Amino acid sequence: MSFLSGTVSFSRFQVVGGSPKRLDENLIDKFRANRIGSRTCLPADHEEVGWLGGRHLLDAEFDAEKNVILDCLHVGMRIDASRIPPDLMRAYVELELESIADKGANVRSRLRLKRQATDAARGRAEKEIREGRYRRLRQFPLLWDTRDDVLYVGATQPAVLERLHALFKTTFNKRLEQITAGHLSYQWAEKKGADRRLESLRPAKFVEFPGANGHGEVYWTAHDSSSRDFLGNEFLLWLWYTLWTEGDTIKLPDGTEAAVMFVKQLMLECPRAENGKELITCDGPTQLPESRRAIASGKLPRKAGLMVSRQGQQYEFTLQAETFNISSATLPKTETNGNGNGHARAEERAEQIRHLGQTVDLLFQTFLQRRLSGEWQTKLQQMTVWLQTV
C-alpha cells in the first residue's frame, strides 16, 4: 500500500505547530528511533506501533533519497497485534476443564475449576503469542506535506488514527488535528474575519418538518455543539443544487474553474434519525427519481462519488461529507509513466495528491462564501423551492 501507485484513500491532518523546515538526516533519525520493532518488549496488550520505510510491509529502512519527495515525506506506519481467536480460547478452556474436571464436584468446586481452567488456558495462549503465533501486521501509508503542514494518512478507522496520534506525539512532540468540514470552516472563517458568524451558525432547514424549530437538525453532529461538520452535508446538497440549476462548471476563489459531476454512489440519511438511510449506486446517482425523492423528504448527503476536473487534472473519488475523508481516488496518469524514472513519477503523484486536496478545499470555500454571506437566506429559499420540485 502506498500513495505512489494505484488508487488512494486518505484522511488529512493539520500538523499543529508547523512542520520541520529542513528534510534532513536529523528528521530521518527521528523515524529510525521509533521504527517498528524498536521496542525491546511489548506492552501487556501485545501491540506494537512504529514507523516503516514506506515501500512494503517489511521495509524498516529510511533514507532521504527514498523518503523525501519534493517538500514531502513518504513513510508508513505499521501496527503489529497478537490476539488469540476467541473460538480457540474457548476451546483451550474446555480442554483444560476436561483434564482437571471432577464430575462429582459441587457447584463451588466447579466454579473454582472453571477459574483454574481459564487461567491455564490464558497461560497457554500467552506462551503461543510470545512465540509469535496469531500475529497480525498492518501497514498504513503517510505523506507529510511540509509546505502546507498537512499529513495525508492512508487510514480512516478511529482505532488506527488514535495510534497515529500517540506515535506522532512521541516522535515529534507535535499534535495533529483532523481536517474535517468543521476544521476547514473555522480555518476559513478566521482568515475572513467571520469567526462570530460561523460560531452562531446552526444547521439550515431545507425541508419543513411538523413541529420543527427555526433551524434544521443533524443528529450525527448534535453531540458536539461546537462542531460545524454538518456544513459538509450542506455543501454536498448545495453542490447538487448548483450543478442541477447552473451548470457543471464552478468558479473557485483562486480564479480557476472546476467541472464537477456526481458519479457511481450516493449515500443519504435522515438528519432526524427517523427515516433511515439510502445508498444509491449507478453512473449518475443524483439523476434517479429515488435520490430526488430522498432529498425532497429531508435526507442529507453523507457520502458521494465525485468526478472533478481542474487545471487539466481529472480526479474521481468518494467524499465523506463530515470528515472530508477521500476514498478510492483515481489520479491522472503521470507524464513520466513507463519511462523508468521512479522518483519523477513519485514527485508527480505527490503533487497530484496535494492538488486534489486543494481542489476539494476550494470547492468547499466557494460554498462557505455563500453560506456565511448575507445572501444565504435568499439562496436557501431557492433551494427549498427546488427541493419541492425535483
pLDDT digits (tens, 9 = 90+) for 259-287: 999 999 999 999 988 888 899 999 999 99
Sequence-distant (6+) residues with CB within 8 A of 296 are 207, 387, 388, 390
Return the C-alpha cell found at 5.
Answer: 501507485
Is 219 in a helix, a strand, or coil? Answer: helix
Q: How confident is the model at residue 208 (pLDDT cuts 50, 70, 90)?
A: confident
* pTM of the predicted protein model: 0.88
Q: Is the pLDDT of residue 212 over 60?
A: no
- CA–CA–CA angle 195, 19, 167 (5° rounding): 100
What would the grid cell of residue 367 be?
460554498
* Over residues 66-93, mean pLDDT: 90
For residue 334, pLDDT over 90 is answered with no
What is the percent of the chain where pLDDT is above 70?
A: 92
Task: Calculate mean pLDDT across residues 249-257.
Answer: 96
In our burial notation (b when 16+ CB lie closer than 10 A, e otherwise), range 103-132 reads eeeeeeeeeebeeebbebbeebbeeebeee
**What's the rounded mean pLDDT across residues 115-120?**
85
Supply the DSSP symbol for 130: H
Q: Which residue has the higher pLDDT, 25 or 113?
A: 25
Distance CA 342, CA 346 (A): 6
The residue with greater pLDDT, 41 or 202, is 202
Q: Indicate the SS3 state at residue 291.
A: helix
Task: Give the model's pLDDT for residue 162.
Answer: 95
pLDDT in tens, 4-56: 989 999 999 999 999 998 898 999 999 999 999 887 555 656 788 999 998 88
pLDDT band at 102, cuts 50/70/90?
low
Question: Which residues, other chains included, contact 43 with Cβ-Cβ below 8 Å and sequence gap of 6+?
Answer: none
pLDDT, residue 233, reads 98
Q: SS3 of 230, please?
A: helix
Residue 351 backbone dihedrals phi, psi, to 5 degrees: -65, -35
* Cα–Cα dist 230/240, whole Å: 16
Least confident of 180-184, 201-205, 210-214: 210-214
Give the CA diameter of the chain: 85
Whether residue 104 is predicted with pLDDT greater than 60 in this model: the reply is no
- Counting residues of the chain whose pLDDT is more than 90, the rounded percentage is 69
Query: Cβ neighbours of residue 27 under 8 Å, at least 6 residues apart?
Result: 20, 73
Which ranges of the chain does DSSP label H, i.e. alpha helix? 25-33, 64-67, 86-100, 107-130, 158-172, 181-192, 195-199, 230-246, 289-296, 342-371, 376-389
Quote the pLDDT of residue 97: 82
| Average predicted confidence (pLDDT) for the chain | 90
